[in-house]
Structure 1
Amino acid sequence: MSQAPTREVAKRVFAREFNDATFTFKESDDERAPNFALLPTGDRANRVFVVGTLTETEDIGDESEYWRGRVVGPTGTFFVYAGQYQPDATAFLRDAEAPEYVAVVGKPSTFETDDGTVNVSLRPESISASDENARERWIVETAERTLDRIEAFEDETNEYAEMARDEYDTAVETYRREAEAALDSIVEDGDAAEESEPEAAP
């Protein structure tokens, strides 16, 4: 019976934490072993699920298409890159009419610049059109997952939290504030929408 690798669950992460997840690792020497990004709140992520606003797309390829998309959420921006190995995602970014809501499932990817800065981006497995309701549900669920990770951060058996303490300087409380601010943004958007609705005629 073949030991086919199972797909990792796609983690929900806000942009601020995702962009801070600059340390990557494997858990075995097998060349097919999955590559993980270490989340600063003490978890590993091989795949990530994001819903946000696609605000810009650009073909930055030289000899062949290589598309970059900016997906904006309540705590920052995810950069999505798709080329010949992601034909469906490439086609979506090529045809997209920004701004529009999108849902993205992809793998974290890191790139070190000449000055030593590590940039984190998303290599999409899929991109699809989404809507405001899905975005709000994603914010609520992502905030819950973020707070769950923070609650488990001090658990002595949490090996990923121990790794995060070694690798990162940012306090996990930063991500608690980000999650709370993201939830507040939904409330504020809802209040603004109510204020803009015309009053019913008497």
Structure 2
Amino acid sequence: MSQSAPTREVARRVFATEFNDAGFTFKESDDERAPVYALLPTGESANRVFFVGTLTEKEDVGDDSEYWRGRIVDPTGTFFVYAGQYQPEAASAIRDLEPPAYVAVVGKPRTYETDDGTIRVSVRPESITEVDAAVRDRWVAETAERTIERVAAFDDEGNEYARMAREEYDLDPETYKAAALSALEGLDGGDELADGDAASADTPAGN
């Protein structure tokens, strides 16, 4: 009897400010094919993530073949996505998009260590789709809700991922709740791209 194909992991909704702090990765089994998870500081595992933001820059940084880097900002910070020959659909999408544009991205977290020991987190996209302001706003609202729920459950007995987050990170989950609430407040700002203020669209506070 053949084994059924593994089911896809749920794509977690997460804001950039939390995602970029999720530098610890782990597996839940010793199988070399076991999925790799990023540990979100609010106490959740993420093998895949889903986010919506504004593609503000794109660049082909490949040497011998196309390798696209995209800079995508949400109300809290910046995601970087990298797509090459092994992500042809996502690479094609970045190539064809003209910044600034709202995009929805599903992908896998990737970490790497810089020469000075800093852990950087990026996304290897499975799909990149151009969307409108309504989709972006709905994602912000839903992601804020999920973030606040994770923070509320952080101290629950038996929350294994929260226990791991306390051990691996010296970070206060309330920081991400505050960022989520701030993002919600920013929804009153309307559609920046349609308003012609594309340069500042979704620009994170402090950037």
TM-score normalized by the length of structure 1: 0.92
Percent identity over the alignment is 68
**Which residue in the other structure is 1:135 paired with?**
136
Q: Distance in 1 between matches of 2:24 and 2:130?
A: 30
**Which residue in the other structure is 2:199 paired with?**
none
Q: Distance in 2 between matches of 1:107 and 1:28?
A: 18
Q: Distance in 2 between matches of 1:102 and 1:142?
A: 15
**Which residue in the other structure is 2:24 paired with?**
23
Q: How do 1:73-84 residues align onto structure 2 when only pairs under 5 Å count?
A: 73-84=74-85
**Which residue in the other structure is 2:171 paired with?**
170
**Which residue in the other structure is 2:200 paired with?**
none
**Which residue in the other structure is 2:104 paired with?**
103
Letter of the aligned partner of 1:138 in structure 2? W
**Which residue in the other structure is 2:66 paired with?**
65
Q: Distance in 2 between matches of 1:23 and 1:3?
A: 30
**Which residue in the other structure is 1:189 paired with?**
190
Q: Please identify runs of 4+ aligned residues in structure 1 that moved more than 4 A.
A: none
Letter of the aligned partner of 1:50 in structure 2? F
Over residues 12-49 of structure 1, what are the superposed CA-to-partner deviations in whole Å (9 max), with x where a residue is unaligned?
00000000000000000111110000000000000000
Q: Distance in 2 between matches of 1:113 and 1:188?
A: 37
Q: Distance in 2 between matches of 1:4 and 1:88?
A: 22
Give secondary structure in 2 for the equivalent of 1:62.
Answer: coil
Q: Distance in 2 between matches of 1:123 and 1:32?
A: 17
Q: How do 1:115-134 residues align onto structure 2 when only pairs under 5 Å count?
A: 115-134=116-135
Give secondary structure in 1 for the equivalent of 2:175.
Answer: helix
The structure with more radius of gyration: 1
**Which residue in the other structure is 1:157 paired with?**
158
TM-score normalized by the length of structure 2: 0.90
Q: Distance in 2 between matches of 1:30 and 1:130?
A: 38
Give how far 1:3 is off: 4.4
Letter of the aligned partner of 1:69 in structure 2? G
Give how far 1:189 is off: 3.5
Q: Distance in 2 between matches of 1:171 and 1:144?
A: 18
Tell me the number of residue pairs that the alignment of Structure 1 and Structure 2 aligns: 192
Q: How do 1:88-99 residues align onto structure 2 when only pairs under 5 Å count?
A: 88-99=89-100
Give secondary structure in 2 for the equivalent of 1:22.
Answer: coil
**Which residue in the other structure is 1:114 paired with?**
115
Give secondary structure in 2 for the equivalent of 1:6.
Answer: coil
Letter of the aligned partner of 2:80 in structure 1? F
Letter of the aligned partner of 2:73 in structure 1? V
Q: Distance in 2 between matches of 1:45 and 1:65?
A: 27
Letter of the aligned partner of 2:15 in structure 1? F
Letter of the aligned partner of 1:121 in structure 2? S
Give secondary structure in 1 for the equivalent of 2:141.
Answer: helix
**Which residue in the other structure is 1:197 paired with?**
none
In structure 1, runs of 5+ residues without a counterpart are 195-202
Give secondary structure in 2 for the equivalent of 1:108.
Answer: strand
Letter of the aligned partner of 2:171 in structure 1? T
Q: Distance in 2 between matches of 1:163 and 1:189?
A: 38
